[in-house]
Amino acid sequence: MYELTNDPFYETYMQFDSCFIDYCLAKSEEPYQGESSHREALEFFMETLAEEAIFPWKFDIGKAKGNVIDTASFFAVPRLLRKDRHGNNLYDSDYSNPKVNEKMPYWYAFLEPPIEAGRHSAEEFEMLNNALFPSGIDSVEVYDWSTDWSDYFNSGHEWWGASCWTCYDKSLDRYAVILVSFTE
């Protein structure tokens, strides 16, 4: 497994300097094997992040539990209905506010980070995902992973939330690992 460091996606991602989502694009020299390939991509990114971490943290990839989820639902963005009297965005979604140890949807991590400066629009979310999956999402398989197997997710568990996904794009034969964990 190796990181695709020169992929054009990273140029688009750099436009969102206040984004609270970590991304890694990787490719394997081994043939695709479903969940085990997703787990390998996840382990690769966690090893990379652990090497770069200011404070050491650990992970046990064997404890990670993954499930295939619906790709269209994963990338769906709810419609903004209005702002409430406190300036909070209200969406046509049954997910509203994270609770301790609750997993958040991908769209929420991008559109509603805990710091106002990190908020982005639905159009920007679409632009980032188009750069992430330039061939579209029809050939993408997504795994949603538990977040109780690494110290990386501890800060998110304290307050805002934590999430972990791996995406395999069959058309490009590459993996995208998407991690979220942040606290104030």
Give the pLDDT score at 36.
96
Q: How many whole angstroms separate alpha carbon 24 and alpha carbon 152? A: 15
Q: What is the CA angle 138-108-38, rounded to 5?
A: 45
Give the pLDDT score at 77.
81
Among the residues of 97-173, which ranges form H helices?
106-111, 122-132, 154-158
> Comparing C-alpha atoms, which of 94, 167, 182, 97 is closest to residue 129?
167
Give the pLDDT score at 174.
96
Give the pLDDT score at 164.
94
**What pTM was estimated for this model as a whole?**
0.86
Give the pLDDT score at 169.
97
> Comparing C-alpha atoms, which of 177, 176, 145, 175 is closest to residue 163?
145
pLDDT tens sequence for the chain (184 residues): 999 999 999 999 988 766 778 899 999 999 999 999 999 999 999 998 888 777 777 889 999 999 999 999 899 887 665 566 666 665 666 655 555 455 678 888 887 776 665 566 788 889 999 999 999 999 999 999 999 999 888 877 777 778 999 999 999 999 999 998 875 5
Give the pLDDT score at 54.
73
Give the pLDDT score at 32.
96
Structural tokens at position 15: 């436009």
